[in-house]
Structure 1
C-alpha cells in the first residue's frame, strides 16, 4: 500500500485557521514573483595571436621605416632589389597587426553526394532550452492531499479543470480567466476525480459518495448522474468515445454508455483494492488499470462482453506499491509506462501485446504521474518526497535530461495542454504551476530531395 490522504483531527483552532486561510487566498489567483535579471555579459575581447604575422610587423617597425627616414642613394640594382623584397614580404599591405582573411572556398569538381550515399545537408540538432522555473503559479487552496485521486485534467478546448475540496473550477488557457463549475454538497463530497470528454465540452466528475456527474461546461448545467455502479468513492475516470470508464475504491471498473438510460454495459473484476489509475490506449482497444493492490491490468475491450473465464489480457504484478501513474506512448501503440508508489519508486515499460516488461528504472522517490512528450521521444514524471520534483527522461535510454523543482510537497497531479507544449502540475503545497517543459512543436519540414545520380549535373562528356 502507498501513503494516501493526510487527515488531521478537527478542532476549533484548525477551523479558525481554515477560515482565515479561505479569506486570504482565492482559488486560481496568480502568484507574482520578482524574477532576477540575467547577468550582463562582461567578458572582454581577446585577440587570436596565432592569426598575426609578427615577423612582418617587426620588419615594418624597424627596417621598413629606415628608408623613409633617410632616403638612400637610388640605383637600378638597389631599386630592383627593393621591389623584389617588397613582393616577397607582401609589403603592399597597409595594416600591420591584421587578422588573416578566411581562405577562399575550394572549387568542387564533383558534388559531395558523389563520394557518399549519406545525405550531406543534415546538421546536428540544437539542444532544446528547458526553462528551470515555472512560467506561472496559481493558488489551489483546499486541494485534497490524496495519492489515489485524480483531480486535474486539461481538455481539448484548452480549458483546465481542477477540483479543490467540494468545488470544480475551470481555468481558460486562452485568456487566463477562471470560473466555478459546480460546488458539491458536504454529504456528497469531496470531489474525487475529474476527466474531460474528447469533445472538450463535457466533463465527468467523480464523487466521494460513489456517484458520477456529467456536466456541460459551455452551458454550465448538469446533464445526468450515474448511480448504482460503485459502492464507494470513484477516484479514477477515463473516456473512450461515448464510453465513460469509472474505477472505484470497491475495486470495480465499470464501462458506462452515457447515451442510454441503463448506462452500465461492462464490469471488469480483478483488483482487490482501490482502482487509482485508468487510461485507454489511443486506439481505444486496450484499457490499463492500476490499483492499490500493486497490480497493473491490461484489458481488451473485445473480451469484456465475452464469456471468457479471464477477462483481463494481462495481469502484471512486478510493482511493489500502488500503481497510479499510467501513460500510453503516442508513437508506439503497444507501449505503456507505469509508475509505482513510495515503496516501489520505479517506472516500468510494458509491451501490452505480450505482457513483457521491457525496462525498469528506479527513480528514487514516489512516482505520482507520467506524461509523454507528443513531439519528442521524452517522458515526464512527477514525484513525492524528498525533492518533490519533475524529471524529464530521454526515451529509450532513460537518461535524465533535467529535473525541475519548485513545489514544496509531492506533485500529485499532472495535465498536458492540447498542443502538447505546456504541463500543469498540482501539488499538496496548494499551488498549481505551469511549465514550458516540452517546448514548441517543430515546424513541418519539406521532404528531403532524393540524391541525384552521379554526373547528373554534367550535360556533356568529351
Structure 2
C-alpha cells in the first residue's frame, strides 16, 4: 500500500517588487503591447485620489510618465498608510520598517537621589547580578533591592574620613554579593552589604580621586584622576595594587567579556586599549576632542568598541580594536555621559547631558550593520544623567542624574517575538521578503 502524503497548505509569500502573475489579464496585456503609447494619462485604473498619487510617484520613479504597464503593479499599502507616506516623502525623519518596535518612553520607577554629586569624573551607580542596585551619595552607600523595593543604607566611611571624603566609584563583583568602593582620597574598600563589614581595604599611593572601578572574577581594576590604572588580586593575603599603566585623567573603563582586553578613556579624548595578560597598552586612539568617559564593548562582536565624547565633541564612534579603524560615527551635539549595548535587540543606548533640560535624555539607536538609526528618546531627567547601568537580564536600564533622580526604564522586554507578529498579511512591510 502506497504511503499517504500529508500535504501542508501552501503559503504564498509575495514579493513587493515582482508583479503578482495571477492578476495578469493576457488579452489586455496583448492589446497594450500592440497599441501605440498614449500621450494622455488614463486614470481609469486608479480608483481614488490616493491611488492616483501613488501612480504618479511610480511613473516618476520608473522614468516613463503616462505609459501603462503590461504587468499589473498594485499598491501594497492601505490608503491611510499611502497618505501618510506621501506626506512624509520629503521628510528626513522617515522611520524604517524595523523601527516600528514599541518602546516604553516613561520610567517604571523614579527614586529620589539627594546629594548626588554633579561630577563627570565619578561612577557611582551599578547593578549587580543579585538584582540589587548600589548608588553612592556623598559618604553614604545605598543598596536598593529591585524585587522587594527595599533600600538599605550602608555607611563604611569613618568619622575621621566623613568630613572631607566622598565615594567616587562603586562596583559589584560577578556574583552580586560584594561591593567595592573608591573615594577621593584613594581609599579602596571591599565590603559585604548584608553583614555591613569591610573585607579588604587599601590606600593607593598619592591621594587622588578613584574615578572608576571594574571587577571581574578575583581581579579589581581602578582608574584615577592621575591617569593610573591599578590591578588588585583578591586571592593575595594582603590586598596590594599593581600599576598597569598611566596616562591622562581616567574617568571611563570597560572590560571585554570574551577576552582579556580592557579599554580606558579620559581627558583629551584619548582611548587606550590594554592587554591584561601582558599588562601593556597595545593601542592608543585619539578618539574625541572632549573627555571620553562613555565606553562599551559590543557584546556580539568583541572586536568593536563604542566611545562617546564630552561636551566639546558630542560624537558616538565605533572602533575596530585590532586595526584602530573607525567603523562608524554619529554626532549627537551634546555631551555623551554613558553607553550601553543590548545584545538581544542589537541596539545601543546613550545618555546625554546638556545645558537645556529638554536635551538631557537617553537615546536608543538601532545598529543595523553598525549604522546609527534613532529609535526612541527617553526623556525624564531635568539635568544630565551622568550614570547609567544595565540590569543583569539585559531588559532594564537604570539612570541617575544631577537632578537627584534615578529612573528605571524597561527598554528591552524579554518577549521580543510579539513585535514580529504585527500582521499576517503576506504584503505586510514588517515581513521578510525572502
Establish whether TM, by shorter chain, passes 0.5: yes
For 2:384, the equivalent position in structure 1 comes to 410
Inter-CA distance 320–111: structure 2 relative to 1 (3 Å threshold): same
Q: Displacement, 1:278?
A: 1.0
Cα 1:132/1:183, change in 2 over 3 Å: same
Partner of 1:254: 230
Task: Quote the Cα distance in structure 1 between the aligned partners of 2:169 and 2:282.
Answer: 26
Q: Hey, what's the Cα distance between the residues in 1 that align with 2:173 and 2:188?
A: 13
Check whether the contact 1:128–1:439 (CA below 8 A) recurs between aligned residues. no
**1:439 and 2:413 aligned:** yes
Aligned counterparts, 1:7-406, within 5 A: 111=10, 127-184=100-157, 185-187=161-163, 189-229=165-205, 231-264=207-240, 266-272=242-248, 274-304=249-279, 311-385=280-354, 386=356, 387-395=359-367, 396-406=370-380
Alpha-carbon spacing, 1:205–1:188, altered in 2? closer, same or farther (3 Å): farther
Residues 112 and 370 of structure 1, relative CA distance in 2, 3 Å threshold: same
How far has the Cα of 1:183 moved from its partner?
4.6
Quote how far apart the aligned CAs of 1:262 are. Answer: 4.4
Q: For residues 13 and 411 of structure 2, what CA distance do their matches in structure 1 show? A: 42
Structure 1 distance, partners of 2:289, 2:364, is 23
Measured in 1, the distance between the counterparts of 2:239 and 2:144 equals 30
Alignment size in residue pairs = 323
Q: Is the 8 A contact 1:289 1:297 kept in 2?
A: yes
Give the TM-score, by structure 1 length.
0.66
Deviations 1:36-66 (A, max 9, x none): xxxxxxxxxxxxxxxxxxxxxxxxxxxxxxx
Paired with 1:441 and 1:321, the residues of 2 have a C-alpha distance of 39
Contact 2:172/2:178 (CA < 8 Å) preserved in 1? yes
**CA RMSD, 1 decimal:** 2.4
Secondary structure (helix, strand or coil) at the match of 1:293 reads helix
Distance in structure 2 (CA, Å) of the matches to 1:369 and 1:334? 19
Instruction: Tell me the TM-score normalised to structure 2 length.
Output: 0.70
Match of 2:69 in 1: none
Counterpart CA distance in 2 for 1:383 and 1:376 is 21
Gap regions ≥5 residues in structure 1: 1-107, 117-123, 305-310, 445-462
Shift of 1:229: 4.4
Shift of 1:109: 10
Structure 2 spans left out of the alignment, 5+ residues: 1-6, 16-96, 419-434
User: What displacement does 1:338 show?
Assistant: 0.7
